[in-house]
Amino acid sequence: MTSRESSAASASAEQASVEKHKRLKQLVEAALELPAGDRDSFLERECAGEPALRQQAQELLDVYSDVEVEPASEPEQIGPYRLITELGAGGMGVVYLAQREDGFSRTVAVKIMRRGMDTDFFLSRFQQEREILGALDHPGIVRIVDAGSTDDGRPYLVMDFVDGVRIDTFCETLPIRERVSLFTRVCAAVQHAHRNLIVHRDLKPGNILVAPDGQPKLLDFGIAKVLDQEDNESTNATIPIMTRQYASPEQVRGQRINTASDVYALGLILYELLAGTRAYELKDMPAGDAERFICETEPPEPSRKAPRAAAIHLRGDLDRIILMALRKEPERRYHSVEALSADLERYLQGRPVSAQNDTWAYRASKFVQRNRTAVAVGTMMTILLGGGIGSTLWQARIAGSEWARAEREATFAKSSEAEARRMEAKAEESARVAVSERERAEVERKRAEDKAAETERQRQKAESRFREVRSLANSLLFEFHALIRNLPGATEARRLVITKSLEHLQMLQRDAANDPGLQAEVAAAYEQLGQLQGAAGDAALGDIKGAFESQVKALGIRQVLAAAHTADAGMQRDLGASHLRMAELLLALKQQGGALESAQKAQSIYQALVRTSPRDVLSMLGLAASQQASGQAHESAGRLKNALQSYEAQTESRRRIEATSPDDLELQTQTAEARDLEARAIELEGRFSDAIHIVEANGVIYRKAVAANPHNIRARRNMIQNHRTLGSLAERTGDVSTARDNYRRAVDLQKDLVAEDPRNARMLEDLAALHSNLGATLIRFAQPAEGAKQYRLAIDIAAELAARDPQNSAIRAALAGAHLGHGQSLMEAQQAELAQKAYETAIQMFEPLAATAPRDVNIQMHRALAHIGIGRILRDRNDLKQAEKSLQHGANVLEKILPGSGDHRVLSNLGIAYNRLADVYRLQGNNGLAIATYSRTLPIAERLLKQDPLNAMAFTMRAESMSRSGMIQESNGDWTAALRSYQGAVEMDAKQSARDPRDVRAKENLAGSYFAVCEIRLRLLQHRSAFEACAAAILHWKQTPAKAELAIALARAGDIRFAQAAEEPDRAELKVEGCKLYRDAAAAGAMEMEPRIARCGQ
């Protein structure tokens, strides 16, 4: 054939194959539409006379798979482990028995993630399981010994192999008591997980094996640890009906899951172990019915379902214990697994158990949990009532810093919990007694009224009045709570009681016109009532306005008394204290102006007192307290300078107080606490180094206090706060390692506190905040995954608290902030999709908060950050229009709160927002606008640096602006301008890096900036300077994990040497050096180095 003929022939042959291919596709697709049986005959018909086609079509049909990914068998060897046999399959992975072959020869269980499940979502879960198991160190929890990934990138976990049987099988031959005893060991393991804030969520007999030595072991933390809401939903979607067998009502309803869900599961397991059958048999129920059943049907008593021999043991205590764990409402079960275990221990020791039968009162009343707090507050007040109302309240005011109050709350909450429980038990037995109590109190009240109508007031009568008021207040305000609480309409009754007390006090007040002592008592009673009305944390009782009104009345009386007895220092002090109390309430009502006024009134009173008696410590304390209150009022209104003045004045006063009793650690501590406020105000101004001095000095004192009193909560809280503040300040000045160390310490100390008092909301709040702080620092330490973990811990805690107390906006703000931080860490860890979800969650939470608090700098700023975070993700996704919108929104919010707030963080974040916005303009091609927007960071950075020349944020911001501007200038061909920009970036990055030699990110940034300078110099043919810059880049990249960049820099440096060698051929050493650099570059992993190395002739 001629060439033309052959090419024509091949052209038509090509055409033929194309046609055939098309037909093949049509055939296969058509065949797939048919049922399998008809396919053969279909192909016969269609491919008549074309056996080759038929065969090909058949081949394709054989390999065709609809499933996205087919499950395939595992290779025999994974890392050093040889897989022997499959042990079982779970939700996310398959578990194999395996043996380690490399001389360590041990038998293990290897859990490998299934194929097709390596999406971000499941990978992070798997990673979580690894982290969880890694973090849990307990004989009752299976131990993780190794981890890794397979050749095709799927992660696996290696655990100790537990050669045991399922716990239900194991128990079949055990007597009841031993089953209970074994079960308490399971509880210990679960409790250990809870202490580490991990909820298992999938407890069932299949997940608990008993080893040959009798030690039960928990397995499969595959769906452990609750995250935020969306996780709840998706988990419910993937739990098959089988596992639903052990699901709690809240799990089934998709509600918040916490440790109580594990308690429920344990209850079901115990039921099964003791009664021999399940509490509910859900296997054949359709899905909807099963859920309803779980949520609504009460399980039968275990003793009724157990065989006769066992039933005898179960009736009574064990029945009650199990049923208590199985209560439908989480808050009505055992508070913790430990509580459950403790009750079981009591049963084993023959002691009375705490589980009670469900009574009508319990079922009807929804207030059991809330009432505890109310009772706690009430108890606190009445205990204070005991010794000299006026001065004690006032002492409370002096102690005034949040810590003292919290500590009191903590201590009293604890003791009153026990108290309350006893009260409940008593109240339960006698509903009728409650009624008669009320009647008795009514009679009491009436008698008091009659007495008040008498005209003759003698000293003795006055004294009996004192007693009367006290006992009345006692009974009205305290005993009633316990007794009426269990009745329906408890809130109403309580309100009634308070109203009655008010009425009674009003009458007393009228009659006390000539009796200053009684008047003082009445004023004190009003103050106390006000405390009760304003009780925080109890929405039913919380009535700030009412508290305010009571306080106004109290204040009125005190003013009258003080005016009439100007020489009586005690009365004057009481008036001062009353003003302070008022200031506190007004602050809570956000009326900073009024608060300031009251604080200043108090201040002038105390100042006058101190002037007349300079040794009067009580008045000095009062003065200090009022100065603090003024400071707080100023700070709340955003006037930092004035706040600082007040705080400094307070410190002065406290120093003088200290001087009266120089070795008094308590006084020193109070001074340190006062200085903490000062330091915080200075920090907000941006003067970090000054703040650090103060905080470090305070730390010395706090350490002494803890050493003297290691269990004292206040001392420990001060220490924790100290670490936290130091961490925060270190972060601001760029000393990332100090920050991390301090936060870690703070977290550890706080965890100790929480462990001792796990229900204490305040402590949990603080722990959540500390986790957030640590998370933020870890991001800067280039450990975003670790940071994300911390944020998740914070989210867990905050979410739990928010669920308990939905009205508390501070907690909701903390939760939103934790989601924000989580988003930031996910962003850094390259998980943009998860990050976006986290940001969106944060925004959703911030919007309502922001609407109600437009001047709250914290909330607005964090809200802005969430928008900015999303803007960045959108920018990366090239969704530029939306990115611009989000970023602009964020910037607007910040601009709005900027004036009037000297808060440096607002400035910093605004700078970041401008940088991001400029990025978007740049990507949209709007270079002019981009450069202009980048330059907007200059005045911001200058302002920040003026406050503190070490402000790390300022450096970062400017470095970014300049390097991006440089990019634009470079792409415009404006080399000189670009060089200037890049040099500016180098300067900023160098300052940043010098602060902390361990800051890896800073080094990377610096190296990158140097490299950019090198490239520009090259364009300008300034070889020597270019080489210097590249050498600097190499130097710094060598100290970071950035291998690829190092390789490029080495290659570039080699290029420069060769270019120089071309210009100066007589300098042979240039070529030699260039060759060495090329070889180094290749060794570091640079690609395509062969042609260059070829030039070296070796």
Give the interface with another protein as residue ranges (CB under 8 A). 14, 17-18, 21-22, 25, 28-29, 56, 59-60, 63-70, 72-73, 75, 115-116, 152-153, 830, 832, 876-878, 923-925, 960, 963, 967, 971, 1004-1005, 1008, 1011-1012, 1015, 1018-1019, 1042, 1044-1045, 1048, 1055, 1059, 1087-1088
Nearer to another protein, 182 or 912 (CB): 912
* Shortest Å, Cβ 59 to another protein: 5
* Shortest Å, Cβ 82 to another protein: 17
CB atoms within 10 A of CB 41: 10
**Distance from the Cα of residue 32 to its chain's centroid:** 52
* Shortest Å, Cβ 211 to another protein: 35
How far is residue 644's CA from residue 506's CA, in Å, rounded to a whole number? 41
How far is residue 464's CA from residue 586's CA, in Å, rounded to a whole number? 35
Tokens of 200: 């298992």
Nearer to another protein, 67 or 453 (CB): 67
Rg (CA), the chain: 37
How far is residue 898's CA from residue 902's CA, in Å, rounded to a whole number? 7
Rounded (10°) angle between helices 857-876 and 832-852: 150
Nearer to another protein, 208 or 1006 (CB): 1006
Cβ burial, residue 532 (10 Å; 0-12/13-18/19+): buried
The CA distances from residue 257 to 208, 265, 290, 667, 822, in Å, are 21, 12, 19, 45, 20
Geometric angle at alpha carbon 672, from 668 and 673, rounded to 5°: 115
- Say what the alpha-carbon torsion angle 972, 974, 980, 985 is, to the nearest 10 degrees: 20
Cβ burial, residue 938 (10 Å; 0-12/13-18/19+): middle
Backbone torsions φ then ψ of 313, nearest 5 degrees: -70, -30
* Shortest Å, Cβ 1087 to another protein: 7
How far is residue 242's CA from residue 295's CA, in Å, rounded to a whole number? 17
Nearer to another protein, 199 or 874 (CB): 874
Nearer to another protein, 672 or 1048 (CB): 1048
> What is the residue-wise DSSP string for 933-989?
HHHTHHHHHHHHHHH-TT-HHHHHHHHHHHHHHHHHHHHTT-HHHHHHHHHHHHHHH
* Shortest Å, Cβ 491 to another protein: 53
* Shortest Å, Cβ 894 to another protein: 20
How far is residue 211's CA from residue 197's CA, in Å, rounded to a whole number? 26
Report the candidate in 753, 783, 736 with the shortest Cα–Cα distance to residue 1002. Answer: 736
CB atoms within 10 A of CB 524: 26
Nearer to another protein, 275 or 1048 (CB): 1048
Nearer to another protein, 631 or 1008 (CB): 1008
Mention every residue, 6+ apart, whose C-beta is less than 8 A from residue 418.
Answer: none
Nearer to another protein, 371 or 908 (CB): 908
Do 74 and 110 form a contact (C-beta atoms < 8 A)?
A: no
Report the candidate in 713, 728, 802, 729 with the shortest Cα–Cα distance to residue 772. Answer: 728
How far is residue 725's CA from residue 686's CA, in Å, rounded to a whole number? 14
* Shortest Å, Cβ 115 to another protein: 5
Nearer to another protein, 155 or 631 (CB): 155
Cβ burial 585-617 (10 Å sphere, 16+ → b, else e) = bbbeeebbebbbbbbbbbbebbbebbeeeeebe
Amino acid at 777: T
* Shortest Å, Cβ 70 to another protein: 5
Report the candidate in 1024, 933, 934 with the shortest Cα–Cα distance to residue 984. Answer: 934
CB atoms within 10 A of CB 227: 18
How far is residue 6's CA from residue 2's CA, in Å, rounded to a whole number? 6
**Distance from the Cα of residue 334 to its chain's centroid:** 24
Nearer to another protein, 60 or 608 (CB): 60
Nearer to another protein, 1004 or 1080 (CB): 1004
Nearer to another protein, 150 or 196 (CB): 150
Report the candidate in 202, 204, 211, 217 with the shortest Cα–Cα distance to residue 138. Answer: 217
* Shortest Å, Cβ 1043 to another protein: 11
DSSP-derived 3-state class of residue 616 = coil
Nearer to another protein, 249 or 869 (CB): 869
* Shortest Å, Cβ 161 to another protein: 26
Nearer to another protein, 548 or 1078 (CB): 1078
Cβ burial 477-512 (10 Å sphere, 16+ → b, else e) = bbbbbbbbbbbeebbebbeebbebbbebbeebbebb
Nearer to another protein, 451 or 995 (CB): 995
Rounded (10°) angle between helices 713-732 and 402-429: 140
Report the candidate in 515, 540, 621, 524 with the shortest Cα–Cα distance to residue 574. Answer: 524
Nearer to another protein, 16 or 563 (CB): 16
Nearer to another protein, 337 or 1012 (CB): 1012
How far is residue 678's CA from residue 648's CA, in Å, rounded to a whole number? 6
* Shortest Å, Cβ 942 to another protein: 21
Nearer to another protein, 764 or 838 (CB): 838
